[in-house]
Chain A
Amino acid sequence: MDWTALALSLRLAAVTTVILLALSLPLAWWLATTRWRWRHVVDALVAMPMLLPPTVLGYYLLIALGPRSPIGALLLRLTGESLPFTFPGLVVGSVLYSLPFAVQPMRASFARVDRELLEAAWCLGADRARTFVRVVLPLSRAGVVAAAVLTFVHTLGEFGVVLMLGGNLPGRTRTVSVAIYDQVQSLDYAAANRTAGVLVALSFALLALTYHAQREGAFRWPTT
């Protein structure tokens, strides 16, 4: 059992979830409320990572972030480090890869919020930010929780992007799914089975715990 790889995957999933929640809250709200005529183009762009094969996404990220691309060269000049084959590189890849899983549940919840409630809040003197925090978020908490859990679990099981962008470096970019792949290639099926078993059990426990907590109302917004 490769505990280092499991810890790396958990860290990657946690960091990705935090970043994606912060990015997706405004983006999902904008998508749910804007009347801009080209909004469907943005919708389609957000969904793209779901359609692209992960290895293809990983390959183009590798090229785009590599030292020979303009973006990669700029990053290299600014930070002295190139992103592929590093943990921050994996975070960038995972944020893109899991973007639709964060945006879409929230966007769907936001779209269901009754507009009259928003107008009522504005008439009572709440500004837009306060309305969002006090009215929209409490009514959409199921979508926000679903977005967080889906992002976390989706990143935990990520394979193609990490394999292309990470280079399978033990302790640095070898996540748990890449470790399983490596164990299978070493013809060490027993180790692969153990690692896969731990990954499945962990993901299942996380999902079951979240759904249980959601039913028990643990995710209720404070009302005062």
Chain B
Amino acid sequence: MLPRRSLLLLSLSALACSRRPASPHRVAVAVAAASDLRFVLAELLADLRSSRPDLLVELSFGASGSLVAQISQGAPFDVFLSADESLARDLVTRGLADPRSLFRYARGHLALWVPRAPHLDVPSLGLRSLLDPSIRRVALASSRHAPYGRAAVAALSASGLTAAVTPKLVTGENVAQAMQMAQSGAADAALVSLSLTHAPGVASAGQIYVVPAALHPPIEQGGVVLRRAADPSAAAAFAEYLRSASARGIFARHGFDPPAP
């Protein structure tokens, strides 16, 4: 009966089974990381591999707030790297992480990135570049659940630009999406983490203005090891590495400052 369709289904399931994904027990550390860490973490993992080749790290990215929501619904992560320490502390409050495992690994900077506007002198105009009529859409991360989105809204308000710029704002779920909106040309500027403007091919493609830290609450990036970690010692080793001297150097190259003590 239905010979050809059964064959099709059979061959499909055979294909699906023959390429079984890496089984969970081989994964040493599953990391849920804030989107501003996309590029720095790639480099950190390459560096970590040279000293700890046995440590297999798997990354999933999202807005810090969304990741907290997933973790509190039972998402199987071992380490959470937030863009905002307070969200990592949230998980401690909810009993999902040990307070002693809370750590700070970097301090982030907010940056304005403006591609395709050679007539504007973005570094000297600063946030006031956003008032230029050629800037019609400004992308930022959600101020509800992304720390850099909150920082962007605070910086606009501290500069007295909220009323003028709000009609131009478009919101991405996280900083990486906001960056992608500006890079694709859908938006004319992006308020994102300085780290994302260090992504390959991004820095040279636009002008960067580092928003002064005084204009927004500090972005203390913090992380936490989750209680449900499959291999707590591997998770702790990864957390330890992020605070090592060699990790600090890589963080610095991607526009992060060392964390407040």
Question: Do the two shown chains form a genuine complex with each other?
Answer: yes
On A, residues with C-beta under 8 Å from B are: 3-4, 7-8, 10-11, 13-15, 17-18, 62-63, 66-68, 82, 84-85, 145, 148, 167-172, 182, 184-187, 206, 209-210, 213, 218-219, 221-222
Given that A145-B5, A187-B183, A213-B5 are contacting pairs, would A172 and B38 also be in contact in the complex, using a CB cutoff of 8 Å? Answer: no
With a cutoff of 8 Å between Cβ atoms, the chain B residues found around residue A11 in the complex are 13, 16-17
Whether the pair A187, B199 counts as a contact (CB closer than 8 A) is yes
**Can you name 22 A-B pairs with beta carbons within 8 Å?**
A7-B15, A10-B12, A11-B16, A14-B9, A17-B9, A66-B74, A68-B73, A84-B75, A85-B70, A148-B5, A169-B58, A170-B60, A171-B22, A171-B58, A185-B38, A185-B177, A185-B180, A187-B180, A213-B4, A213-B5, A218-B4, A221-B1
Q: Which of B17, B61, B74, B179 contacts A187 (CB 8 A)?
A: B179
Q: Which of B3, B19, B58 contacts A7 (CB 8 A)?
A: B19
Q: How far is the CB of A174 from chain B (nearest CB, A)?
A: 8
A85 to B12, CA, bound (A): 24
Closest chain A residue to B20, Cβ basis: A7
Whether the pair A62, B73 counts as a contact (CB closer than 8 A) is yes
Closest chain A residue to B60, Cβ basis: A168
With a cutoff of 8 Å between Cβ atoms, the chain B residues found around residue A185 in the complex are 35, 38, 61, 174, 176-177, 180
A85 to B75, CA, bound (A): 6
Q: How far is the CB of B199 from chain A (nearest CB, A)?
A: 6
A219 to B4, CA, bound (A): 7
With a cutoff of 8 Å between Cβ atoms, the chain B residues found around residue A62 in the complex are 73
Whether the pair B12, A14 counts as a contact (CB closer than 8 A) is yes
User: What 1/0 mask marks residues of chain B from 28 to 55 whose CB sits below 8 Å from any chain A CB?
Assistant: 0010000100100000000000000000
A-contacting residues, B155-174, CB 8 Å: 174
A-contacting residues, B105-161, CB 8 Å: none
Interface range on chain B (Cβ under 8 Å from partner): 35 or more
* B260, CB-defined interface residue at 8 Å: no
Whether the pair A167, B60 counts as a contact (CB closer than 8 A) is yes
A-contacting residues, B65-110, CB 8 Å: 70, 73-76
Given that A14-B13, A167-B60 are contacting pairs, would A85 and B74 also be in contact in the complex, using a CB cutoff of 8 Å? Answer: yes
Q: A8-B21, A10-B12, A11-B13 are in contact. List 16 more A-B contacts (CB 8 A).
A: A4-B19, A7-B16, A7-B19, A10-B16, A14-B12, A15-B13, A66-B74, A85-B70, A170-B58, A171-B22, A171-B58, A172-B24, A185-B180, A187-B180, A218-B3, A219-B5
Identify whether the interface residues of A are mostly helix, strand, loop, or mixed.
Answer: helix
With a cutoff of 8 Å between Cβ atoms, the chain B residues found around residue A84 in the complex are 73-75
Closest chain B residue to A169, Cβ basis: B60
Whether the pair A66, B61 counts as a contact (CB closer than 8 A) is no
Whether the pair A67, B73 counts as a contact (CB closer than 8 A) is yes
Whether the pair B73, A4 counts as a contact (CB closer than 8 A) is no
* B214, CB-defined interface residue at 8 Å: no
* B2, CB-defined interface residue at 8 Å: yes
* B8, CB-defined interface residue at 8 Å: yes
* B252, CB-defined interface residue at 8 Å: no
Whether the pair A4, B22 counts as a contact (CB closer than 8 A) is yes
Whether the pair B21, A172 counts as a contact (CB closer than 8 A) is yes
Q: How far is the CB of A32 from chain B (nearest CB, A)?
A: 21
* B223, CB-defined interface residue at 8 Å: no
Closest chain A residue to B8, Cβ basis: A209
Closest chain B residue to A87, Cβ basis: B21
With a cutoff of 8 Å between Cβ atoms, the chain A residues found around residue B76 in the complex are 85, 169
Q: How far is the CB of A168 from chain B (nearest CB, A)?
A: 5
With a cutoff of 8 Å between Cβ atoms, the chain A residues found around residue B183 in the complex are 187
A169 to B6, CA, bound (A): 31
Which are the 10 A-B pairs with shortest beta-carbon distances? A171-B21, A11-B16, A7-B19, A66-B73, A185-B176, A10-B16, A218-B4, A171-B22, A167-B75, A82-B74
A222 to B61, CA, bound (A): 52
A14 to B180, CA, bound (A): 33
Q: How far is the CB of A220 from chain B (nearest CB, A)?
A: 9
Q: How far is the CB of A107 from chain B (nearest CB, A)?
A: 20
Closest chain A residue to B15, Cβ basis: A10
